Structure 1
Amino acid sequence: MSRRFVIEAVMVAIYGELLAPGAPVEYIVPYTTVMELYEFQNSPEPLMHDPADNLHVKNKINELIAYLEEPLNRKKLERALNIPWAKSPSILFGENVSWTVVNALDNEQYGEFLDPIETEIVLTAQREGAPVLTDQLELIRRIIEAEVPVQVFDIQDFEFAMEDSIFTNNQP
């Protein structure tokens, strides 16, 4: 059985090891974070401090966009966009990784604590019963302060989060 995490699309580009896990994993990705890839691709602002790392991440974003724009994957994405909270069929990234894109909607439930994309991430995690995986320590802090009922893991703890002894909200 695969582990499931709600994650922003750009995190997969930044942290390449997320595409090479030791066990099956499903990333549940809000569609707005997929659209952010295009913003990051065209932005003159660096994503990383080191110029070489920044170039590498921009190249990975370009590869990710190209993969998602392949006809079969594009068709899967478009199927999710017709209805709020609809999910795409799985998009496979190798043997152990699949993506499910969700047409999440911000309902401003956490407006004072979280921005719209963060709210979509949290709401998706709640709806799917899956933990959030992020590198944003500030987001983790705000989730805890707002007492949002979701599990959240720092990406640095990815291997720990993949262990069978960790339980998600809907799994014993």
Structure 2
Amino acid sequence: MSRQFVTEAVMMAIYGQLLVPGSSVEYIVPYTTILELYELRDSDEPLMNIPDEDRHVKVKIGELIAYFEEPLNQKKIRRCLTIPWAKSPAIVLGEQARVTVINSVDNASYGEIFDPIETELLLASQREKIPILTDQIELIHRIIDGGVPVTVYDIDDFEFAVEEETFRRSH
């Protein structure tokens, strides 16, 4: 059985290790985070502090967009977009990684503390009963401080998170 995590599409572009995990992993990705890839790719704002890294990440974002736009993958994504909370069939990202797009809906339940994409991550995590994987330390702190009932892992702890989720599912 795959380990599952809710995450943003951009995390897969920034952190290449997510595409080559040591065991089977499925990422549940809100559709709005795929739309955000286009904004990030076209933005003049740097995503990374080092110019070479920023160029590299923007190339990876472009590659991920192109992959999602391939006809079969695009068809899979479109299948989930007519019904709120519907999920696409899995899209293979490598030997051990796959992504499932979820048509999440921001219902503003966390609107004061979290932005719309963060809210969708939280709601998807709660709905699917799987942890969030993020690199946003301030988001992790707001989740903890707000007492939001989700499990969240820092992306730097990805290997630990995969092992931890394996342990939880086997006990």
| TM-score, normalization by structure 1 | 0.96
Q: C-alpha separation between the residues in 1 aligned to 2:62 and 2:52? A: 15
Residues 5-64 of structure 1, C-alpha deviations (whole Å, 9 max, x = no match): 000000110001100100000000000000000000110111000000001000000000
Write out aligned runs for 1:1-172 (5 A). Answer: 1-164=1-164, 166-167=167-168, 172=171
The alignment partner of 2:107 has SS state of: coil
Q: Identity across aligned pairs (percent)? A: 62
User: How far 1:145 moved relative to its partner?
Assistant: 1.2
Report the AA paired with residue 37 of structure 1: L
Q: C-alpha separation between the residues in 2 aligned to 1:98 and 1:128? A: 16
Q: C-alpha separation between the residues in 1 aligned to 2:64 and 2:128? A: 24
Q: C-alpha separation between the residues in 2 aligned to 1:100 and 1:124? A: 12
Gaps of 5+ in 2: none
Which structure has greater helix proportion? 2
**Cα gap change, 1:158 to 1:119, in 2 (>3 Å):** same
**Cα gap change, 1:127 to 1:73, in 2 (>3 Å):** same
Report the AA paired with residue 125 of structure 2: A
Q: C-alpha separation between the residues in 2 aligned to 1:135 and 1:167? A: 22
Q: C-alpha separation between the residues in 2 aligned to 1:116 and 1:66? A: 25
Q: C-alpha separation between the residues in 2 aligned to 1:20 and 1:97? A: 7
| TM-score, normalization by structure 2 | 0.96
The number of aligned residues is 170
User: How far 1:167 moved relative to its partner?
Assistant: 2.6
RMSD: 1.2
Residues 67-105 of structure 1, C-alpha deviations (whole Å, 9 max, x = no match): 000000000010010011010000001110110000000
The alignment partner of 1:163 has SS state of: helix
**Cα gap change, 1:41 to 1:142, in 2 (>3 Å):** same
User: How far 1:158 moved relative to its partner?
Assistant: 0.3
